[in-house]
Amino acid sequence: MPGLSVPFTKGHGTENDFVVIEDPDGRYDLSPAQVAAICDRRAGIGADGVLRVVRGRQVPAWAERWQGDPDLWFMDYRNADGSVSEMCGNGVRVFVRYLLERGLATGPEVPVGTRDGLKPTTVLPDGRIRVQMGPSRVLGRDVEVQAELHDHPPMVWTGWRVDVGNPHAVSLLAASEADRLDQLDLGRAPLWRPADAFPAGVNLEFVRVTGDRQIAMRVFERGSGETRSCGTGTCAAAAATAAARNLAHGGADGPVTFVVDVPGGSVEVELDGDRTALTGPAVLVAHGEFVLPDGTV
C-alpha cells in the first residue's frame, strides 16, 4: 500500500507511546515495514508500537485464544519493528481511552480482545484505567542476563522467568547495586543465557526495591528497545519481587499491591492469586494522517 494516507491518533501510557489506527473493516493490514515506518522517530510519527483497532472477526486466526464476540474490539498490537506481540498492558489502556473518546465504547467497563485473551478493563473515577491482566506466572529463577553499563564493565544477574501472556526475564538488583539501575546502557540489547530459554525473544526488566511494596524499573522490550514504561513488564517485575520476598500473591490477607516507578511515571500492580491488575493513566495527544512512504510493503 505505498503512498496510502492512514488516519491516526497518538497516545501514551506513562510515556510508553503508541500510534492508534482505527480499522473496523480491516482495510489496513499493515506489513512489518509499514509499521516500522510509522514508528520511526525521525522519518515517521514515532512510537513504541502500533495499536490497530479492529473487530474480532478481522483476526480469525486468534479467535480461539479469547473465545470472544466477533464484534468485540480487538487490539492488534505490533512492536516498533513491525513484529507481532501477544499483549501490551500500557497499550490496552491507550486503546480503551481511544474507544471512549471516539464513542466506540461507553464504559466504565470495557472488554478488549487481545492475542493473550480477553482483557476486562475499568475506567476509574479519577480517570485512570484498570486492566485485568490475567495471571503473572513466575516460572523460575534460572536464566542469566548480561547488560552493559555506562563507564563500567558489563554485569550479569540471575533472572526470574515470568509469563504475563508474553515472556519476561526480571533481574532484581541487590541493595548494594542500587546505583546500577541508573548506569545501565540499554541502548545496547542485553543478552541472556541459555539462548534457547526465549526462542521468540524476551522483555528484560531491571528492578530495584525503593520502599515497602514500591520498586523502580527500567526495561528493554523485544522489538522496541528501551522504552519509558512497559505494562506487562511492571506486572512481571512486581511478581518477581513478590516471589523473591516470599510474599503470597493474595490470600487470607488480601491482595499484594506494588507501586512501580518507571522513567515515564508510576503504575499500580495488584497481585491476587492467579489474577493481576494493572492501573495507570492513558492520554491521547494528537490526531492526523500519515502517508506511508513508497517502498514499504
The SS3 of residue 36 is helix
Q: Can 39 be counted among the known catalytic residues?
A: no
Q: Find the catalytic residue in 53, 88, 145, 169.
A: 88
The conformation of residue 164, written as its DSSP 8-state character, comes to S
What is 87-148 written as a DSSP string? --HHHHHHHHHHHHHTTS---SEEEEEETTEEEEEEE-TTS-EEEEEE--EEEEEEEEEEEE
Q: Has 280 been labeled as part of a binding site?
A: no
User: Which of 137-167 are b and which e, b meaning 16 or more Cβ less than 10 Å from the residue's Cβ?
Assistant: ebeeeebebebbeeeeeebebebbbbbbbbb
Q: Has 90 been labeled as part of a binding site?
A: yes
Q: Has 89 been labeled as part of a binding site?
A: yes
Q: Has 231 been labeled as part of a binding site?
A: yes
Pairing of strands 16-22, 49-55: parallel
The conformation of residue 47, written as its DSSP 8-state character, comes to -
Q: Has 251 been labeled as part of a binding site?
A: no
Q: Has 16 been labeled as part of a binding site?
A: yes
Residues in contact with 201: Cβ distance below 8 Å, sequence separation at least 6, in sequence order: 167, 222, 223
Q: Can 230 be counted among the known catalytic residues?
A: yes
The conformation of residue 23, written as its DSSP 8-state character, comes to -
Please tell me the distance from the alpha carbon of residue 285 to that of residue 11, in angstroms, as a whole number.
5
In contact, 194 and 180? CB cutoff 8 Å: no
Residues in contact with 195: Cβ distance below 8 Å, sequence separation at least 6, in sequence order: none
C-alpha cell, 11: 497516545
Q: Find the catalytic residue in 96, 169, 230, 271.
A: 230
Residue type, 252: A
Annotated binding site: 16, 79, 89-90, 166, 203, 221-222, 231-232
Residues taking part in catalysis = 88, 230
* Binding-site residue positions for substrate: 16, 79, 89-90, 166, 203, 221-222, 231-232
